[in-house]
Amino acid sequence: ELKVEQNPLFLSMQEGKNYTIYCNYSTTSDRLYWYRQDPGKSLESLFVLLSNGAVKQEGRLMASLDTKARLSTLHITAAVHDLSATYFCAVSRGIGGGADGLTFGKGTHLIIQP
């Protein structure tokens, strides 16, 4: 059974600081996603990582994937308040490239304080 674990689950940090969220998964998968969710809202796709060593960056967020270690990281650089949200990683359940659904982590609730 595919399991996805994120840590930390809660993170409070100051603006301007850097931090990393970790996502471990238990079985081989061919696709990993990072999503952002604001309170009461749906999921916004941030990154799709397809291969070992993949690195993607968007603004202050950078995601990477190590398929051998079954580990992905989401790094936040010089955090700003607008990045406060819950971040989920999700892994495709099969080999269908996500077309057969995703298994999500519990999420990291991130609060960035001035």
Q: Which residues make up the interface to another protein (CB under 8 A)?
A: 4, 33, 41-43, 45, 48, 88, 90, 93, 96-107
Q: Smallest distance from the beta carbon of 5 to another protein, in angstroms?
A: 11
Q: What is the DSSP letter of 81?
A: G
Can you tell me the distance from the alpha carbon of 1 to that of 108, in angstroms, rounded to the nearest whole number? Answer: 22
Q: Smallest distance from the beta carbon of 96 to another protein, in angstroms?
A: 6
Residues present in the chain in total: 114
Can you tell me the distance from the alpha carbon of 17 to that of 30, in angstroms, rounded to the nearest whole number? Answer: 32
CB neighbour list of residue 63: distance below 8 Å, 6 or more residues apart? 34, 46, 47, 49, 55, 56, 57, 72, 73, 74, 75
Q: Smallest distance from the beta carbon of 35 to another protein, in angstroms?
A: 8
Taking the least distance from each CB to another protein, the nearer of 43 and 62 is 43
Taking the least distance from each CB to another protein, the nearer of 59 and 97 is 97
Q: Smallest distance from the beta carbon of 60 to another protein, in angstroms?
A: 22
Taking the least distance from each CB to another protein, the nearer of 14 and 26 is 26
